A and B are shown apart, each in its own frame.
Chain A
């Protein structure tokens, strides 16, 4: 048993790509080893900005011998009546390069068959490893790759070293002209000279002594603990759920923390601006006290100590400069009211063919008004129209040009300062929410309406131009826009078919914008929304088949679809759905492509038919009432209640009977049931265990 160590040393790989790269290396290498029949006792992968590391312990030194078995002619043809081998056997043995005496007879589905068994000797692990490592290292994938020097590459960043050891000996691997050795380098600045290592443990020890912490988790914990300590010392705390910490951990090899402060006067700036300056631009962790932001921050450094205090001083100087800048923009922006900036939006392009932001603003005002009506809030029309009018103006401000993440937020802050009512400035402030999956939707209905208007305007325009996302390319962030729309409609319980809103959005664009038919655009958007809805319902824990059942029946009223999914989920837990689902699948199969007319009572012959028809009529009425008042759970119960009658029907009645009239009528009854009950969900999509 021996240990394997691999280190791929590069120039700094982007922090955002590191986690994925580590996983990629781990999975690919582990799979490659398993393919070769080499299983390790344990394996880990680590990543720092300058290294990708893989360690496998307890690998065998040789592959196990394998037995290959090749089937040949039937035993009856291979051996004669006296049990002696025939020409067929000889020929087979010769072709397989084994002795006739090595042939065996095995039982197969075809009967007794001759087989040639060969030993495939296991190869030396180090020989296998060389090829496996070579393959894996060349196949690693990164979001972006580059070339360097004389055209070496492509790789994430220039490759500068390879360390590959198995059982203490170098494994021959080479990539882009760099050959593997048994040594590496320590921290770029804090360590000098090469480190020769003998194996994983020696490597990890020497690396840490050379000021490199390979374990990302350890770096994260060190940062978090250090930051907390520093924040406590000034009577504050840091946000522990900050997604900055993992990023910071992936920017350094030997993390330390340092605290700095900024001028008290900058606390007069809106908090969002100060924290964005700290977080987004400088990657500092803001410090919060009980009454709000403290004039302190925690910065991470790729160094354990700030020996001369230069690092804290430097960072303080930079932050004060940025905050002074922000204040400068704030003062400059105040000189012109939002309303007065409107015309400047004509110079800002929304999209090449969809026009500028002034045009978008005009469309948004109309669309927001429309949406306010259709969601039953005509009282909000004035609010949303005002908010829509102001919504994009902040794009002309210095503040947003500098802090692009604060779009909407800055508009809201400025609107608040100008004395606009709460409902207006909050709507502007929240218009881009939810901006990511964990984010909350707009706080108030007006904000929700404005956000929906913006999203539908963008989606309708771009889809009509055919600029739809594909694969990983979504430059206009349409997936996020659509997901947000679905999410807002559901959280606000806005129940309506959104198609008329999409049509209205399309009508606001100039004639002849696109050669596509409105029909096709709507269809594409429908599929797009369906995927987003699926996504959202998956996050809510709905299994795939439930989502399909609900989506098949209707997508365009998102809130309604979510409700139906919830009801279906509950029904499934509480009742025996199985026989109902099987019955529906059966109905779907029997009906095929047929579209019968309504059933006629006088054509029923069997008791089971009449019973089913009667139960159905009763249930149908109840279901219509329940569904009408959105009591979907109870409606589902009603649907389930006819399962016994359906079962009895299938047992006692021959649907495809010879008498054409009766057959048609039976199909008609089943079709009526399917049609009625499928208004809530397509039960035939539900997966159940097959009956044995």
Chain B
């Protein structure tokens, strides 16, 4: 956990950030929050802070103008944030914040009676992809891997990969009426007075992977709300069933960018900014040495993960399935970011935090090796995988906070 000094932070620190975009990266997040980080990085938007539930609960969202909540395990997000976290979110939005939720982040604010989720009843809508709307025969067509438990019911997913959306009321401007976006378990929402539809599911493409019979997919998705908006107090909630932040879908990214920057231009004062206490700024050869050490750990882990590619394995961690290739998603993402900054001669980073990153990176190859050996011996490896993904997330959280802060500082100089 990056220490976020509550009130006695060092205002005279040479770093004085005003992060405006927060990305949730807590225990309920899977890996798609990295996509948000990627597209913001591509846009040259470094005014970004990564937040765990602990950050949100203990520190609140003061200083954050936009909160991006991506995919993962909705129950774990809700449980992690708890009632206090829900209050923090509510205050954030009603005081003028923009909440953008995709996939699990889109389920979170929907009305629910389930424990934990019922603290977040921000939007009074129902979803179509819930098993209670299916006949017995239709239920029997579903595969376990395409369903997530939801009390006595379950949430089911009818397709993966690409879907075609119809954008309503010219929301794409002169870019037409349709947009193609990737769907990985996000909700399809039934019309309600409590939500303004922005886009509905319209159809499929050659790349759509059907998880059920096509007629059931049509029944569940087509015409339902894929993207919706609700105003709440001075703020807004946007929810996206599909992952508009996926970096392979630039038109979707552009749409998100417009929403984010339009909101930021409003220039609302959101209270005190986030501050990080920088203890030990390093640069030049010293920084290069640290980054090389980090690369060493990442490279060894990447190669260990590459050796896992023969194992077709997935783990159920919480309510979320993690495939083994997700290990490389984290590692390659971090690798690319380190590669990007290692040539920036003027860059300064916090040595103490980099050391934390290096320590975690060193543990990763061993984590992966133990999993591989476990699989080979036919042992249960979910516990090990859980630990590995926690470490990967923790490292990403530490490093990306450093990365964006350092680039922001470089840019501002």
Instruction: Tell me, yes or no, whether A binds B.
Output: no
